[in-house]
């Protein structure tokens, strides 16, 4: 055997040893798919009822058509049903998908799921809500802490730097709500004339949130309100309209829906902080495919958000943000 043959055989043995080593640490290494058409992605959403999550699903479906993959979607009926969503997520692991796109309703509750996915070497792409209780390949969504700061800055501007305000959150355990609220609280130092006098929690439908806001207004006069998601924003706007207080009590909300945009036009709220759920769903699938193929995935993809009011809601770019599906 000459020297060149020995080098070639040595190189082949080294490659074989490396493959065996990688497969020992990651049993799915040898199963890794080579093309998108072989890939199955499991998408786990927070709800199948809200327009926001329906738009996320539509974005994911658009990516499926583009990349030619197979996708399955599961979702809880109610957004705050963390236990139901967790059960569906754990069940989905039995099908051994190549990657998972997860819009979780609770951080700590999903720690066992994230561990189980990591143990099976299934990459998880977190969308909408950042997760800290386990390993994810990437997070796609807005910076919720910064969005909370932006909401307070805008409300302080509306109140000319003086006033008593309340925060209205939907479901006390929400990840995004906690980050947005922390952003608001930390930004208070920049607005000494603004006083946070109440925190209101509501769960369930718009009417329950409206009732909770009514109780807060009855308890003490308020100059402004920041509502942290769609249902709490709509509930607050409905209550202010009922009390003919929409222009006196300034309201900053999050997310969008046809009802919220109608309230915006009627001056029942002043601003909405909006991101594009369609793009979030699309990017979730895109990066899940990349992760399944073993490609490098960015650890964080921040979604662009916009402050929408009755003047700029009809601008072309904002129409794409508010109505992404029809563009």
Q: What CA–CA distance (Å, rounded) separates 327 from 321?
A: 9
Do 50 and 194 belong together in one domain? Answer: no
Percent of the chain with pLDDT over 70: 87
- Among 56, 34, 28, 46, smallest CA distance to 117 is for 28
Statement to judge: residues 95 and 183 lie in one domain:
no
Average pLDDT score over residue span 37-45: 95
Q: What is the pLDDT of residue 35?
A: 75
Cα–Cα distance between 166 and 200 in angstroms, integer?
7
Residue 8 resides in a domain: no
Q: What is the pLDDT of residues 204-255, one digit of tens each?
A: 678 899 999 999 999 999 999 999 988 899 999 999 999 999 889 999 999 9
- Same domain flag for 209 and 222: yes
One-letter-per-residue 3-state SS of 291-325: HHCCCCCCCEEECCEEEECCCCCCCHHHHHHHCHH
Distance CA 68, CA 113 (A): 27
CB 281 within 8 A of CB 59: yes
Tokens at residue 45, please? Answer: 């959403």
Domain boundary among 210, 234, 265: 265
Is 60 exceeded by the pLDDT of residue 10? no
Q: For residue range 269-288, what is the model confidence (pLDDT) as tens digits? A: 999 999 999 999 999 999 99
Count of domains forming the chain: 2
Between residues 172 and 296, the one the model is more confident about? 296
Domain closes at, from 237, 265, 293: 265
323 vs 108, more confident: 108
224 and 148 housed in the same domain: yes
Strands, E, within 255-304: which ranges? 271-275, 300-302
Tens of pLDDT, residue by residue over 185-206, are: 999 999 999 999 999 998 767 8
What CATH code is carried by the domain that includes residue 251?
3.40.50.2300
Q: Please state, in angstroms and rounded to a whole number, the distance separating the CA atoms of residues 322 and 327.
A: 10
Token duo for residue 141: 């969504």
Based on the domain organization, do 58 and 118 belong to the same domain?
Answer: yes
Q: Look at residue 269 and give its three-state secondary structure.
A: coil
Same domain, 185 and 233: yes
Answer yes or no: is 239 within a domain: yes
Residue 245, exposed/middle/buried by CB under 10 A (0-12, 13-18, 19+)? middle
Inside any domain, residue 12: no
| One domain for residues 98 and 73 | yes
Residues 116 and 196 in one domain: no
Q: Are 128 and 82 in the same domain?
A: yes
By residue count, the chain amounts to 327
Distance CA 221, CA 280 (A): 38
Q: Are both 94 and 155 inside the same structural domain?
A: no
Which two structure tokens, joined as six digits, stand for 145? 């802490």
**Same-domain status, 111 and 171:** no
Give yes or no: residues 162 and 220 share one domain.
yes
Q: How confident is the model at residue 3 (pLDDT cuts 50, 70, 90)?
A: low
Task: Calculate mean pLDDT across residues 22-32.
Answer: 50
Burial (CB < 10 A; 0-12, 13-18, 19+), residue 146, is: middle
CB atoms within 10 A of CB 118: 14
- Phi/psi for 107 (5° steps) reads -75, -65
pLDDT tens digits along 51-108: 889 999 999 999 999 999 999 999 887 777 888 899 999 999 999 999 999 999 889 9
Domain that holds residue 174: 144-265
Q: Is position 35 within any domain?
A: yes
Q: Evaluate if residue 133 carries a pLDDT over 50.
A: yes
């Amino acid at each position: 055997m000459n020297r060149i043959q020995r080098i070639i055989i040595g190189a082949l043995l080294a490659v074989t040893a490396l493959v065996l080593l990688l497969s020992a640490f990651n049993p799915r290494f040898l199963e890794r798919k080579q093309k998108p058409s072989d890939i199955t992605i499991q998408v786990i959403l927070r709800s199948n009822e809200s327009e926001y999550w329906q738009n996320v699903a539509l974005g994911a479906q658009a990516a499926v058509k583009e990349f030619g993959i197979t996708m399955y979607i599961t979702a809880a009926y109610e957004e705050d049903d963390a236990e139901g969503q967790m059960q569906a997520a754990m069940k989905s692991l039995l099908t051994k998908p190549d990657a998972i796109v997860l819009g979780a309703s609770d951080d700590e509750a999903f720690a066992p799921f994230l561990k189980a996915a990591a143990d099976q070497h299934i990459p998880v792409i977190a969308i909408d809500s950042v997760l800290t209780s386990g390993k994810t390949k990437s997070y796609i969504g807005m910076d919720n802490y910064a969005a909370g700061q932006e909401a307070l800055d805008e409300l302080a501007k509306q109140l000319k730097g003086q006033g008593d305000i309340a925060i209205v959150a939907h479901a006390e355990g929400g990840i995004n709500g906690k980050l947005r609220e922390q952003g608001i609280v930390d930004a208070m130092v920049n607005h000494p004339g603004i006083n946070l006098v109440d925190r209101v929690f509501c769960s369930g439908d718009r009417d329950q949130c409206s009732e909770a806001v009514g109780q807060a207004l009855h308890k003490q006069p308020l100059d402004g309100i920041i509502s942290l998601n769609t249902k709490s924003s709509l509930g607050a706007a409905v209550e202010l309209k009922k009390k003919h207080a929409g222009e006196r009590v300034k309201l900053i909300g999050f997310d969008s829906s046809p009802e919220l945009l109608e309230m915006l036009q009627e001056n029942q709220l002043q601003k909405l902080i909006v991101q594009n759920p369609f793009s979030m769903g699309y990017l979730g699938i895109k990066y899940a495919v990349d992760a399944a193929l073993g490609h490098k995935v960015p650890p964080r993809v921040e979604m662009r958000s916009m402050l929408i009011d009755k003047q700029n809601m009809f601008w072309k770019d904002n129409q794409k943000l508010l109505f992404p599906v029809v563009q």
